[in-house]
Amino acid sequence: MKFSRYLIWNFLKMFLLIFIGAIVMFVVIDFVGNIRTWLSRGMEDVVDYYASYLPYIVYLISPVVLFLAVIASVGNMAKHLELTAVQSSGRSMFRALQPILWFGLLVTILSFVLSETILPEANYKRLEIMETNAQKRKNKRVKEKRDFAFIDSEKASWFFRHYSAVSKSGRDVLLIFRDNARLSTRFDARRMRYESVEEIKKIIERRKENLFPSMDSLSLLLGNRDSCWLLENGFKRQFLPDGQIKTQKFFHYPLYEVSTLPEDFINERQTGDEMNSKEVKKRIEVLRRSGEDTKTLETAFHFKYASPWTNFIVLLIGAALCHRFSRSGGLSQKFGIGLFIIFSYYIAIRLGLKMGENGAFSPWLGAYGAHLIFGTVAGVLLYRSFRL
């Protein structure tokens, strides 16, 4: 018990020291790299950017920090034969290292929780702040679309001449409804905007529409909604089963027939890093209905669950390399071997993600492939080192 406390205390001291140093180094390098941008911005933007970037920095550096901490603490104890003394007392090395392994598992769980709760909002805010002209050219964030179609469901389809995610409005809108593959209703409107129900009621009340007998009937149709799409200056055409067409002109029409949200057309959060797993899954379903490619988001969805395991696998690799004293190779040699394996791991992760996004691998395999390979490597290294 005393040795376990001694081991975990040494490990935690190294972990915190390296953790703080890595964050400071990361921020300094990033700040210098974006110095031209910050010279044209106010201090408030700089503070907001790095406050939003901090959770993502923690998420990125935690595997490397775990590796360096276990090499520095456990490796140093092995060098001074402290672990050999414990082993000679009859205690297995696996049992001796359990506190560190449990800590690595805890970091893995916290990493997943971080990616589901704090990271999406922080990443969204960070990317919005850093949206300079150069950044737009490098990674353009779509804010509007022209001449595009959106399949809302099996019964409804939208067509836009122009739609803006910033103003949540569209121009030259066509919406058609189908009933058992038969065209039932068609809306044509010059403009469309997303408004609160209270504002819509005021607009309808100022200019009476013959489509709604009373405000009570309109309230009943809108139900418990807070907001709704409002079509302006258009026509509603109903295609009756007997072949007749009923046409009604309107100046304002609350589109109570659909529950489509503005983010369904263009989501302001456009990468997997800006969404949690539920939001990514919902976005995939929306894009699939519209016939758009979803491989990138599907890969990001699986990587949400795969990525945190990097922490535990890296820790296992570090523990396997450094816990045993060897005369043939010092700590620096093991450190070099470990770094080579870790960088190979990161390269394999990036390659897997790209191949999953491009369709060369399935999204699941692209997200999990590197973890399966290097998890096996970690298991083999541990087995061999504990067995010797």
All structural domains of the chain: 2-132+293-387 (no CATH), 144-265 (2.60.450)
At residue 250, the 3 state secondary structure works out as strand
Return d(Cα 382, Cα 319) in angstroms, integer.
8
Backbone φ and ψ of 364, nearest 5°: -65, -45
pTM of the model as a whole: 0.79
Q: What does the DSSP assignment read for 155-221?
A: SEEEEEEEEETTTTEEEEEEEEEEETTEEEEEEEEEEEEEEEHHHHHHHHHHS--TT-S-HHHHHHH
Backbone φ and ψ of 268, nearest 5°: -65, -30
Residue 285 is predicted with a pLDDT of 86
Tokens of 236: 């509603």
Exposed/middle/buried for residue 208 (C-beta within 10 Å: 0-12, 13-18, 19+): exposed
If the chain, 388 residues long, is cut into consecutive pieces of 10 residues, what is the mean pLDDT of each piece? Answer: 77 94 95 88 90 95 93 76 61 76 95 95 88 52 83 84 91 91 91 91 74 70 87 92 88 88 84 89 84 89 96 92 60 80 93 94 95 93 72
Return d(Cα 131, Cα 127) in angstroms, integer.
6
Return d(Cα 196, Cα 168) in angstroms, integer.
12
Residue 201 is predicted with a pLDDT of 83
Residue 133 is predicted with a pLDDT of 44
Task: Give the CA distances from residue 258 to residues 176, 180, 245, 261, in Å, rounded to whole numbers and listed in that order.
Answer: 11, 17, 22, 9
Strand residues in the chain grouped as ranges (E): 144-151, 156-164, 169-179, 182-196, 227-239, 245-254
Q: Is 164 left (phi over 0), alpha (psi -120 to 50) or beta?
A: beta
The residue written with tokens 């007998």 in the block is 213
